[in-house]
Amino acid sequence: MRARIGAGSLELRRGDITREGVDAIVTAANSALAGGGGVDGAVHRAAGPELLAECRKIGGCPTGDAVATPPGRLPVRAVVHAVGPVYGACGGREDELLARAHRRALEVAGEAGCRSIAFPAISCGVYGFPVERAARIALETIRDHLLGGSPPHEVRYVLFGARELEVFRGALRELVERDPRVVLGG
């Protein structure tokens, strides 16, 4: 499923984020940037030990923020490590922190010269963020970024599971109904 937003595009697809042909991929990192399970584990395995070595140089990243590293063995320009919130552990600020993690990932990728980026469902795995809620927050944040005109201009949301993809598709349809600036297709 694809949508035009301003001069940019948003695409939802099911797949393996480490195989996307984009300038930057986002990993759902922990605040220690220590690698982990789920998407972060898959990204670190595909990138090789060089990625963890780059993360160790940075040392960490607070919740709601993002940092970029060289990609290790991945065929992208950068890996953006976005730290989403653990659901129920941030004093009611989870929505704000999830939106900020997406916004910062887009900003960091743009600063690194990236024109395209692929996101996973940040905080929706072991961090327990409800997928329906996360989808609305993520897509609205991406819409706002694309309408602002800054790079990256091509955004993909790459979801591992069929259920998550359907939830994100539903959230995108709702966004199209509410906002005439978001147009399906193209």
65 is catalytic: no
pLDDT tens-digit series, residues 61-105:
999 999 999 999 999 999 999 999 999 999 999 999 999 999 999
What is the C-alpha separation between 12 and 37, in angstroms, rounded? Answer: 23
At residue 129, what is the residue type?
F
Q: Helix 162-178 and helix 131-148: axis angle, to 10°?
A: 50
Among candidate residues 16, 23, 40, 144, the one labeled active-site is 40
pLDDT at residue 186, as a whole number: 62
Give me the pLDDT at residue 35, please.
87
pLDDT band at 39 (very low <50, low <70, confident <90, very high): very high
Please state, rounded to an integer, the average pLDDT across all residues of the chain.
Answer: 96
How high is the pLDDT of residue 61?
98
Q: What is the pLDDT of residue 45?
A: 96
Q: List the domains of the chain with CATH numbers.
A: 2-179 (3.40.220.10)
Instruction: Of 104, 71, 65, 110, give the one whose Cα is nearest residue 83.
Output: 65
Listed as own residue / partner, the contacts of 173-177 with beta carbons closer than 8 Å and 24 or more positions apart are: 174/136, 175/3, 175/136, 175/139, 175/140, 175/143, 176/3
Quick one: pLDDT at residue 37? 86
* 142 pLDDT higher than 70: yes
